[in-house]
Amino acid sequence: MRGYGRAAAALTLAFAVTACGPGPGPARSPAAAPDAGSAEVRFYVDPDGAAAREVRRLEAEGRTGEAALIRRIADRPNAIWIGDPDPRPRVAGIVEGARRAGRVPVLVAYHIPDRDCGRFSAGGAAGPEEYRAWIGRFAEGIGDRPAWVVVEPDALAHILDDCTRGGGAAERLGLLRGAVERLKRQPGARVYLDAGNAGWIGDPDDWIEPMRRAGVTLADGFAFNVSNFFTVEESVAVARRLSDGLGGAPYVVDTSRNGNGPPRGARGDDAWCNPAGRALGVAPTTRTGHERVDAFLWVKRPGESDGECHRGEPRPGEWFPSYALELARNAR
């Protein structure tokens, strides 16, 4: 997934063909909502994620020091990314396991057509109808159980790129809005539309109308800094302006790898694709200390590769042992 895009002002042209109105302010799911003074939401820890499997492997080999470092990842709630051709069985298994554990899973819907504009994380549904059916199956898997869902990282921001200009932009907006609407029919689902990161957004004001047309006002808010490295302070400074333009919309911030901030001065893929010197950030929590920030989440699963980056790293989403250890060692 890319971390930087083109000038955000180009969005104005892309959305001239859409017809959806701005709608009311963001909806708020009653289930597992982080209200002031309420108990902290206990997020689900995946017992069989790549980090957990790595801990078991390292311990079996007697490498206890490295295992202890990777536990800094494995023992924290990480989002679970869903791109399966039929998502219902996997989603249902995750949310039911979380329910039995008395916790709330964080899921990422990641199957938009022409995903990642054919780059490192290429894939997704073959077309609009397939995607609508897919998101319906995703929602069915949730049922009436609690779950937080981040909708399609990068999909809105990639409207700036050639693959989703013009009619493609209008189609994608409709799919995003439809995904939010469908997921919000599940009584326990909290839904956050992805809205890029502080490096991708030039003028936040240019993003307000596109976000509305993509359904953010029907969601519980938006997600920010997914799979990127900007600090909490940098992210909040930009996200607050988006929130202001949306009537005070809440948002969540991905803090999985932002402990040292982004690599300063890096360009192109080097700025976002497995950059060296990064660190784990603030652990997932709904006690953020920031107005409108519903939670700090580990949406990107630390230790899993962003892509090959032309340097021989693992494929996107595959476990990257040396990078995981670096993130954990650098954590404060």
Domain ranges in the chain are 8-20+75-329
Per-residue pLDDT, 7: 35
Given a cut of 70, the residues of the chain with pLDDT beneath it are 1-38, 160-163, 165-166, 310
Q: On the CB side of 216, how many CA atoms lie within 13 Å of its CA?
A: 26
Per-residue pLDDT, 33: 59
Rounded to whole angstroms, the maximal C-alpha distance in the chain is 61
Q: How far apart are CA 211 and CA 64, in angstroms?
A: 46
Angle between helices 167-183 and 128-142 (to 10 degrees): 20
Would residue 205 show up in a list of annotated catalytic residues for this protein? no
Per-residue pLDDT, 27: 61
Would residue 306 show up in a list of annotated catalytic residues for this protein? yes
Nearest CA among 237, 171, 238 for reference residue 207 = 238
Of 46, 114, 154, 294, the catalytic one is 154
CATH-assigned architecture of domain 8-20+75-329 = Alpha-Beta Barrel (3.20)
Per-residue pLDDT, 13: 36
Residue identified by tokens 């003028």 is 203
Of 161, 220, 294, 306, the catalytic one is 306
DSSP state for residue 186 in the 8-state scheme: S
Of 46, 114, 116, 254, the catalytic one is 116
Q: Roughly how many angstroms between the first and final C-alpha of the chain, as a whole number?
A: 26
Would residue 86 show up in a list of annotated catalytic residues for this protein? no
